[in-house]
């Protein structure tokens, strides 16, 4: 079991990473001093697999537990779903001293966190993430949100969890495409912050692809990524500066994801976005070709990058309407080398076009 601390003053919390630790979550919640009444927010897919042990563990620790379920899928990450869950919490008798436990992937974590952030002006919550995406990224950092018809994650709040409880054994049941798509964020973290992790990925990427990596290395990988995310969040909780580097690959990535009508997985689109960024950085003369090729080799082996069939005009429109765009200027995080991520507002339309054309042909082979 690995334990890390996210140091944010009175909003500090721990991240626990272990293999087969799901049944210990009750005791951990008790140690945290949460109120007696809890609601687990989850979806039917995850509930079938993991609700029983979590409910049992919380019950054994003395909590009275209710369960609130949302439908599975990004299309249900809405204000309407959140409103229904608020209703479940009211009916479950949760008061200002109660807490929420989110059990599931990034969708359940984002919606459940948003419900906790807004229920009675904010109650504590615990994240129990069960996908790679959620374990290495979404569960840490306190960004909670729902989507709006006019844009993804448009309605949200910063609300840090009181605890992040990660059982890497839950990844066993995750389909291959979900498991590997989540690795896009892992590659991102490695490139922007951790050359040792890049070395590790070079060495072990094939065991990720065939999923023979083993519990010990998987735990190390997940914990290392949580530590990277935590260190960035500690330095810049509400994304006024450093935290922006976590958007590496996401400017074009989000546009591709939206252009696909969210049929592509986030990680698949972001991987293509990173490939485009690599080309842009090399063209600008800020990144050496060897480092760019190292990134591409990882994505080639992972095989996750995907492109949506959209015109560049459409993609430009989507980029301009993104939350990251300020005063009409599309912002890019570019690598100037491994561990050297720099935010740019000087990428020209021609450079973006060239980056996208390159990534499109990389993806389609
Ligand atoms: N808050 C943040 O900082 C942040 C960061 C990254 C991503 N996100 C958000 O996360 C969401 C994507 O998360 P995701 O990729 O986890 O998708 P997801 O939550 O939709 O989960 C993917 C699928 O896997 C299923 N699932 C979950 N755990 C499982 C398990 N252990 N075994 C089998 N199936 C399982 C889910 O039910 C779902 O069908 C997006 O909405 C994105 O905006 C948020
Ligand atoms: Zn992402």
pLDDT band for position 365 (cuts 50, 70, 90):
confident
pTM equals 0.97
pLDDT per residue over 276-294, tens digit each?
Answer: 999 999 999 999 999 999 9
Task: Give the span between the Cα atoms of 140 and 7, in whole angstroms.
Answer: 12
Pick the CATH number of 2-170 from 3.40.50.1970, 3.30.590.10, 3.30.9.40, 3.40.605.10: 3.40.50.1970
pLDDT per residue over 234-274, tens digit each?
Answer: 999 999 899 999 999 999 999 999 999 999 999 999 999 99
Distance from the CA of 47 to the center of ligand 2, in angstroms?
24
Task: Give the span between the Cα atoms of 231 and 44, in whole angstroms.
Answer: 33
**Considering every ligand atom, which ligand is closest to the CA of 253?**
2
**Considering every ligand atom, which ligand is closest to the CA of 153?**
1
pLDDT value at 327 more than 90: no
Q: Which atom number of ligand 1 is nearest to the Cα of residue 113?
A: 1
Fold observed for domain 176-211+244-364? Dehydroquinate synthase-like, alpha domain (1.20.1090)
Distance from the CA of 289 to the center of ligand 1, in angstroms?
33
- Looking at the chain, the domain(s) classified CATH 3.40.50.1970 span 2-170
Query: Residues 147-154: what's their mean pLDDT?
Result: 89
Q: Which of 52, 157, 178, 266 to mutate to test the pocket of ligand 1 (most atoms within 8 A of CB)?
A: 178
pLDDT per residue over 6-60, tens digit each?
Answer: 999 999 999 999 999 999 999 999 999 999 999 999 999 999 999 999 999 999 9
Strands (E) in the chain, as ranges, are: 2-6, 13-18, 37-42, 64-69, 99-104, 125-129, 143-148, 151-158, 163-167, 332-337, 340-344
**347, 284 Cβ separation under 8 angstroms:** yes
Q: Which of 138, 148, 304 to mutate to test the pocket of ligand 1 (most atoms within 8 A of CB)?
A: 138
Distance from the CA of 253 to the center of ligand 2, in angstroms?
9
Nearest CA to ligand 1 atom 34: 174
- Looking at the chain, the domain(s) classified CATH 1.20.1090.10 span 176-211+244-364
């Amino acid at each position: 079991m690995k334990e890390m601390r996210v140091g944010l003053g009175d909003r500090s919390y721990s991240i626990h990473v272990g293999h087969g630790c799901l049944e210990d979550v009750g005791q951990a919640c008790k140690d945290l001093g949460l109120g007696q009444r809890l609601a687990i927010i989850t979806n039917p897919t995850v509930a079938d697999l993991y609700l029983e042990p979590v409910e049992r563990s919380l019950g054994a620790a003395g909590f009275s537990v209710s369960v609130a379920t949302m439908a599975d899928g990004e299309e249900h990450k809405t204000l309407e779903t959140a409103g229904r869950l608020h209703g479940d919490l009211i009916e479950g008798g949760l008061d200002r001293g109660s807490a929420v436990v989110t059990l599931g992937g990034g969708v359940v974590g984002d919606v459940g966190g948003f419900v906790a952030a807004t229920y009675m002006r904010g109650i504590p919550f615990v994240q129990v993430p069960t996908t790679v995406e959620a374990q290495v990224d979404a569960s840490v950092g306190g960004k909670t949100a729902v989507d709006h018809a006019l844009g993804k994650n448009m309605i949200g709040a910063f609300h840090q969890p009181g605890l992040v409880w990660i059982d890497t054994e839950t990844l066993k049941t995750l389909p291959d495409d979900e498991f590997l798509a989540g690795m896009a964020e892992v590659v991102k973290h490695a490139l922007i912050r951790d050359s040792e992790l890049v070395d590790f990925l070079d060495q072990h990427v094939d065991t990720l692809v065939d999923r023979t990596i083993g519990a010990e290395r998987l735990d190390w990988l997940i914990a290392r990524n949580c530590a990277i995310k935590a260190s960035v969040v500690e330095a810049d909780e509400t994304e006024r500066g450093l935290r922006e580097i976590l958007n590496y690959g996401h400017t074009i990535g989000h546009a591709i994801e939206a252009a696909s009508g969210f049929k592509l997985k986030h990680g698949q689109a972001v991987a293509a976005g990173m490939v485009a960024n690599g080309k842009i950085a090399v063209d600008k003369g800020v990144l050496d070709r060897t480092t760019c090729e190292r990134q591409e080799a990882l994505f080639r082996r992972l095989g996750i990058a995907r492109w949506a069939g959209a015109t560049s005009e459409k993609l430009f429109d989507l980029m301009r309407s993104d939350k990251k765009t300020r005063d009409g200027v599309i912002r890019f995080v570019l690598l100037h080398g491994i561990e050297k991520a720099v935010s740019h507002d000087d990428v020209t339309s021609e450079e973006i076009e060239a980056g996208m054309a390159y990534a499109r042909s990389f993806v389609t082979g």
